[in-house]
Amino acid sequence: MNELLRVNSSDAEVQRRGRNVIILSILMVLVMVLFIVLAAGTTVFTSVLVAASVNFAVHTTTFWLARQGRPGVGAMLMLGSAILATLVVGFTIPSLELIFMTIIPVLLAIATVRPIGVLLTGLIMGLVLALLLFSNPWGITPIIVRNSGGPAVVLLGFTTLVGLLNSTSIVRFFSELQRSQTDLKHTATLLEQSNVVLEERVRERTIELEQALGLQRAQAEELSQALHAQKQLAAVLSEMALPIIPIRDDVLVVPLVGALDTQRGQDMLSRVLHAVEDSNARAVILDVTGVPVIDTYIGRIFISTADALAMLGARTLLVGISPEVAQALVGLGVSLDGLETRATLQQGLEVLLTGGVGERRVTRI
């Protein structure tokens, strides 16, 4: 059914009128088939058959035109045949009541054409009605014609007016609908364009974020490498700041230069213990010739180092204490009991070389 009523047009109002033309064309053909059946075997069968053939040709054409998206042309052909049929019936059939058939073309126009077409059809049918009434082809008394013609004129005029209003409302409705659809399509187009722009921005932003993330990863990798290099450099500097020099297989010299703080003191203790353990040294000389100041805490570090080395079986000598440092230690009450000391590195070496590494002599300050 939907395929039968399909109109080849995208305009909703044209589709409406086209479907109406198709339906009316089918109904008119069915009516003529009914007339042929009813007239079978009568004296008017031939006339009905001729009229039905013409009707079939006309409405088949209107059906085809409507399906092709040209309902206006099909409707004009349909209305023309209806007006002609009204004239023929009015002048050939002696029945005054048939003048009311003049509203049929108007009703067809309401369903198939625009408001201007409805108005023109009403005016034409008014002229047809006037022609029938004034010519009086039925030979009826004029008073009877006037009494019957008056209601027919009123009915035709009222039908035309109502149809004109209805057709105008329908056209306005479909015009608003078309405008709304156009606005909706325009809005959809704008929305689609906005979505395209948004997707492009998202894609660009994603690329920027990926590039930024890659840059951050590269920077993080560079920072990690820099930290690793810094740690290596710190280890090298620590070794350079606290060198441990083996002067014999069993003797290590630790020359200390610069101010000693808590961190350097702890590093010295740790590195000396590991060096003695690794080398199996029997004696360690701590040379503080390059240390300008030795306070209470550093003195305790030296004592702790000597005690720890003693536990490992190693002898500790503290050499290079200047008279100024010795005087300052006495003034501070710093005791280096338990530490064997010598004034210079040479004296310390002589003690170990002449007296033996295993000998331990203690000198108190």
Least confident window among 81-90, 124-133, 144-153? 144-153
Q: How far is CA 310 from the centre of its chain?
A: 75
**pLDDT (tens digit per residue) in 26-65:** 888 888 888 788 878 777 678 778 878 888 888 889 989 8
Q: Percent of the chain beyond pLDDT 90?
A: 12
- Write the single-letter amino acid at 161: L
* pLDDT for the residue numbered 207: 93
Residue 146: pLDDT band (50, 70, 90) is: low
The confidence score (pLDDT) of residue 95 equals: 59
Task: Give percent of the chain above pLDDT 70.
Answer: 86
Is residue 252 very low, low, confident or very high in pLDDT (cuts 50, 70, 90)? very high
CATH superfamily of 243-355: STAS domain (3.30.750.24)
Answer whether residue 229 shows pLDDT above 60.
yes
pLDDT for 297 beyond 90: no
* pTM score of the predicted model: 0.49
What digits encode the pLDDT tens for the residues 167-196?
Answer: 888 888 888 888 888 888 889 988 999 899
What sign results for the dihedral spanned by CA atoms 351, 352, 353, 359?
Answer: positive
* Complete edge-to-edge strand list for the sheet that includes strand 315-319: 245-248, 251-257, 283-290, 315-319, 340-342
pLDDT given for residue 260 in this prediction:
78
Contacts of residue 208, defined as CB under 8 A and 6 or more positions apart, other chains included, come to none
Quick: pLDDT tens for 231-248. 877 666 666 667 888 988
**Selection from 253, 229, 234, 231 nearest residue 243 by Cα:** 253
Q: Name the residue among 257, 270, 265 with its Cα closest to residue 296.
A: 265
Q: Name the more confident of 18 and 339.
A: 18
- Provide the 3-class DSSP secondary structure of residue 257: strand
pLDDT digits (tens, 9 = 90+) for 93-139: 655 566 677 888 888 888 888 889 889 998 998 888 888 777 765 55
Strand ranges (E), the chain: 245-248, 251-257, 283-290, 315-319, 340-342
Q: Mention every residue, 6+ apart, whose C-beta is less than 8 A from residue 245.
A: 252, 253, 254, 255
Q: Can you give 133-181 as a three-state secondary structure string?
A: HHHCCCCCCHHHHHHHHHHHHHHHHHHHHHHHHHHHHHHHHHHHHHHHH
**Structure confidence at residue 253 as a pLDDT band (50, 70, 90):** very high
**Domain boundaries in the chain?**
12-187, 243-355
